[in-house]
Amino acid sequence: MSSTGTARFSLREHRISILSSPGSGKYTFILRYMGYRNCWGSIDEFYPKDDIHRRQCLIDDKIALTELYPIRNMSPDHFSMAVEDRQGFLLMYSITSRDSFEAISTFHQQIRQIKGEGPLPIVVVGNKCDMATVREVSIKEGRDLARSLGAGFIETSSRNSINIDESVYELVRRMRNLDELQEPEKENIKPRDEPDPPRTRTPRWHRRRIFSFRAAHAWPSVPGRLVRGAVRRLGRSKLMCF
C-alpha cells in the first residue's frame, strides 16, 4: 500500500471467497484481517457469527471495500451459488498439512466448473508459516502450484499477523487488473460531415407579445381601461395581440 500521493475516491466492492480444508486457519485469518480481537476473545465465540465480513481499506491510493466470505457449506447447491456470486478467491492451505495443500487443486477445479475457463483472480495462501519446524509443504511447492493455476502466491501467519493484509491486497490488485482488461476500448469519435443545425430561439418581440396576451386575459375582472393602459405602456407591438 502506497502512503504517498493523493487518494482517488473510487469505491468498488471486491467480493472474495476463502476456501480451505478444516484446520487451515481461515477464521483466525479473518479475525486478524478484520481486527475482531477486541470483539471476540476466542475463535469459538467468533465461529457462529455472520459469514460476510466487510472492511474498507486503501490499496495503492484507491479506496476499496473488501468483502470476505469463508465457504464452509460445501453442498453442491450452496457452493455453486456462493462461487457464482464471488469475484476473487483465496485458496488457503496449512503448511503443516499436506492434505490441505493437495485439496487446493480440487477447489480450483470446482471453481472452474462454475466460472469457466476465462481469467480468474486467485491467490494461493500458505497459512501458518510461523510453524516452520513442522512444515510439510515447502515454499517452492506452494509457488509451483500457484504458477500452474495462474494464481498469485503468498505465505501468511494468522497467529502472528504476517502478510494478512498483503494477501488480500494482492488479490484486489489482480481483480483490478482484470477489470481494466475487460473494459471495452473507447472508440475514437470521428467528426461528423454535417455541422449541427443552428439553435433556434423564439424572437424577443414574439415573447413580449405572448406575455402581453396572457397578461390581458389573466384577470378578466380588471377594468378594460386599466388593461389597455398597461398594454399601451408596454409597446405598440403588443397591441397586435388584442
One DSSP character per residue, 22-89 reads TTS-HHHHHHHHHTGGGT-SSHHHHTTS-S-EEEEEEETTEEEEEEEEE-----HHHHHHHHHT-SEE
Residue 190 within a domain: no
Residue 65 lies in a domain: yes
Is there a single domain that holds both residue 125 and residue 231?
Answer: no
pLDDT reported for residue 192: 53
Q: Are residues 21 and 89 in the same domain?
A: yes
Lookup: cell for 71:
465457504
Q: What percent of the chain has pLDDT over 90?
A: 40
Give the model confidence (pLDDT) of 110-156 as tens digits: 999 998 888 899 999 999 999 999 999 999 999 999 999 999 999 99
Pick 5 or 139 by higher pLDDT: 139
* 84 pLDDT higher than 60: yes
Beta strands in the chain (DSSP E): 13-20, 53-59, 62-70, 88-94, 122-127, 152-155
Mean pLDDT comparison of 4-13, 55-64, 128-137, highest-scoring range: 128-137
Structural domain contains residue 189:
no
Are 15 and 146 in contact by the 8 Å Cβ rule? The answer is: no
Same domain, 170 and 74: yes
Q: Are 136 and 178 members of one domain?
A: yes
More confident call, 147 vs 13? 147
Same domain membership, residue 57 and residue 91: yes
* Confidence (pLDDT) at 212: 44
Residues 29 and 141 grouped into a single domain: yes
Range of the domain at 135: 13-182
User: Structure pTM?
Assistant: 0.68
Spatial strand order of the sheet with 122-127 comes to 53-59, 62-70, 13-20, 88-94, 122-127, 152-155
Q: How many domains does the chain have?
A: 2
Assess whether 73 and 149 both reside in one domain: yes
- Confidence grade of residue 36 (pLDDT, cut at 50, 70, 90): confident
The grid coordinates listed for 122 are 486467485
As a whole number of angstroms, the distance between CA 31 and CA 127 comes to: 14
Q: Examine the domain organization and report whether 19 and 98 are in the same domain.
A: yes
Of the two residues 84 and 50, the one the predictor is more confident about is 84
Separation CA 184–CA 175 (nearest Å): 16
**Cα 55 from Cα 67, distance rounded (Å):** 7
In a domain, 194, yes or no: no
Are residues 236 and 162 part of one domain? no
The overall average pLDDT reported for the chain is: 77
The yes-or-no verdict on residue 170 having pLDDT over 90 is yes
Q: Has residue 187 been placed in a domain?
A: no
Examine residue 74 and state whether it is found in any structural domain, yes or no: yes
Longest Cα separation, the chain:
108
Confidence grade of residue 210 (pLDDT, cut at 50, 70, 90): very low
Highest mean pLDDT among 11-15, 94-98, 186-190: 94-98
Higher pLDDT, 49 or 91: 91
Return the pLDDT at 52.
85
CATH code of 134's domain: 3.40.50.300
Q: How far is CA 57 from CA 44, 60, 149, 160, 213, in A?
A: 27, 10, 28, 21, 64
Whether residue 177 is contained in a domain is answered as: yes
Do 37 and 147 belong together in one domain?
Answer: yes
- Please report whether residue 93 resides in a domain: yes
Are residues 134 and 40 both part of a single domain?
Answer: yes
For 192, phi then psi, to 5°, come to -75, 150
In whole angstroms, give the CA distance from residue 90 to residue 167.
8
Are residues 153 and 41 part of one domain? Answer: yes
